[in-house]
Amino acid sequence: MLESELWGILDWLNLILDRRFENILIQTDSIETINATMEGTLGNSNSTIVKRIHQTLKRVKQWEVQHIPKGDNLIANSLAKTVRTRKLGLRLFEDSL
């Protein structure tokens, strides 16, 4: 699951950068994902995906990684599952809020 979470973060970072946002808040319910991402800030990660995330984050003005409760992360989890299957095409997600 960690890899799909990281791919989801990278894909969304690229989408956000295409829209020229300068401040990014990454929210996840996975402590493992937070730890992997933060290890990359210290240059301690051997993971190619974490290195790519940090290369992408260098292009934004400000960013933060935040832990959120599992129930608050339903949309992100569905996106991570979609990324894991890597199906091509447009996907629309409806937020019930």
Is the residue at 94 inside a domain? no
- Within 13 A of 65's CA, how many CA atoms are on the CB side? 22
pLDDT < 70 stretches in the chain: 40-46, 72-97
Provide the domain count of the chain.
Answer: 1
Structural domain for 49, as ranges: 2-85
3-state secondary structure 46-75: CCHHHHHHHHHHCCCCEEEEEECCHHHHHH
Is the residue at 90 inside a domain? no
Which of 73, 60, 88 lies closest to 33 in space, CA to CA? 73
Q: What was the pLDDT predicted at 62? A: 92
Is the residue at 41 inside a domain? yes
* Predicted TM-score (pTM) of this structure: 0.65
Contacts of range 42-47, beta carbons closer than 8 Å, 24 or more positions apart: 47/6
Is the residue at 56 inside a domain? yes
Is the residue at 79 inside a domain? yes
